[in-house]
Structure 1
Amino acid sequence: MKVVVYEDAVREKPSSVEEAREYIRGYSKGHTATVSSVAVTNLKTGVRKGGVDRVEIYFNEIPEETIEKLIEEGMVLKVAGALLIEHPLILPCVKEVVGTTDSVMGLPKELTEKLIKEVLAST
């Protein structure tokens, strides 16, 4: 599970074009975070492990033209927080990612691999 957190508020998928526009404008020259959680269960032993991964994303200015193109394409309306840092239009506006892109996209690989190893080792 992944959520986008902006100024201590959880941002779901935008409910309208205007909300998507507001979300993206808010990121311009600012930052946001994603929080992903992973749970892994060993089906043979029943051992379950879970963890949380947080990624901070810092942005340069996001031009109004870029925001409008993103909204016109429509994909930002289908993702939590209208956040697509890997999108070719937004990628040049990303100043820094503190964490991993795979976690921002929804599945932190390193955490998932760690948890799988832990549940397999606990036999």
Structure 2
Amino acid sequence: MEANAPHFKLILGSSSTARRKILADMGYHFTTMSADIDEKAIRKEKPEDLVMALAEAKAEAIIPRVSIGESEGDAEPTLLITCDQVVVYEGVVREKPSSEAEARQFMKDYANGHAATVSSVLVTNLVTGSRRGEWDKVEVPLLISSQYSISRQIYFHDIPDQVIDKLIEEGIVLYAAGGLIIEHPLILPYVKEVVGSTDSVMGLPKALTERLIKEVL
């Protein structure tokens, strides 16, 4: 498997627990760094453009902090993966909730409307400067609708107020795009059905990540 071959170093530019788990499940050994950027200062009209711009900004923030001088003449390159994700609900972009009240409203909405996750992956070869990035969109129809014909879907039951209270008290939903964490143990009982892979919904589409890594090597 490509991931097990020790011919490159890998840095995940994210503090997301879900992304770390996905990358580890893919068989990669990696280190992590997080970008300290003001995400609200970067605005784009289209969600696809926004997540790509944020992934680019994260890469530019992390790259100066990585020492690659010894690797320049080495056969082993260093790759940096940066990502971003937003939720689009009823046509409106949802980033991380700005307050507990907003997180609560986000979670209550998901049984009553249509949402999609838009994720970006950007892979940069820090030795050669080669960079490849792409966005991935997963429609999440929370009401059954013939308008959408897609392979990856999620259907939710109503999430009870007491569960929402626990999630907000725990705090993790405040750091998730749209307050949407389908893999959380408190949320799982209210996921009616997941059709297809959930890795893109969780913020790191595996197939796209694998392809971009190969393209920059």
TM-score range, shorter chain: 0.7 to 0.9
Moved more, 66-75 or 8-17: 66-75
Q: Verify the 8 A CA contact 1:56 1:97 in the aligned structure 2.
A: no
User: Is 2:197 the counterpart of 1:100?
Assistant: yes
Matches of 1:25 and 1:51 in 2, distance apart?
Answer: 31
TM-score, L = length of structure 1: 0.81
How many residue pairs end up in the alignment? 120
For residue 11 of structure 1, the aligned residue among 94, 101, 119 is 94
Matches of 2:99 and 2:127 in 1, distance apart?
Answer: 45
Comparing both structures, which one devotes a greater share of its residues to strand?
Answer: 1
Matches of 1:16 and 1:45 in 2, distance apart?
Answer: 42
Q: Displacement, 1:42?
A: 3.9
Gaps of 5+ in 1: none
Moved more, 68-77 or 108-117: 68-77
Q: How well do the aligned residues superpose, as a CA RMSD in angstroms? A: 2.0
| One-letter amino acid of the structure 1 residue matched with residue 158 of structure 2 | E
Q: What SS class does the counterpart of residue 98 from structure 2 fall into?
A: coil
- Deviations 1:71-114 (CA, angstroms, capped at 9, x unpaired): 22222122221111111111121123355322222211211101
Greater RCO between the two (CA within 8 Å, min separation 6)? 1
- Deviations 1:30-74 (CA, angstroms, capped at 9, x unpaired): 442211111223445544322221123331222222222212222
Matches of 1:109 and 1:53 in 2, distance apart?
Answer: 11
Q: What SS class does the counterpart of residue 116 from structure 1 fall into?
A: helix
Equivalence for 1:2: 85
| One-letter amino acid of the structure 2 residue matched with residue 15 of structure 1 | S
User: Is 2:161 the counterpart of 1:64?
Assistant: yes
Structure exhibiting the larger radius of gyration computed from Cα positions: 2
Equivalence for 2:17: none
User: Is 2:154 the counterpart of 1:89?
Assistant: no
Matches of 1:103 and 1:52 in 2, distance apart?
Answer: 10
Q: Verify the 8 A CA contact 1:50 1:115 in the aligned structure 2.
A: yes
TM-score, L = length of structure 2: 0.49
Identity of aligned residues (%): 69
| One-letter amino acid of the structure 2 residue matched with residue 26 of structure 1 | D
Matches of 1:15 and 1:66 in 2, distance apart?
Answer: 19
Q: What SS class does the counterpart of residue 112 from structure 1 fall into?
A: helix
Gaps of 5+ in 2: 1-83, 141-154
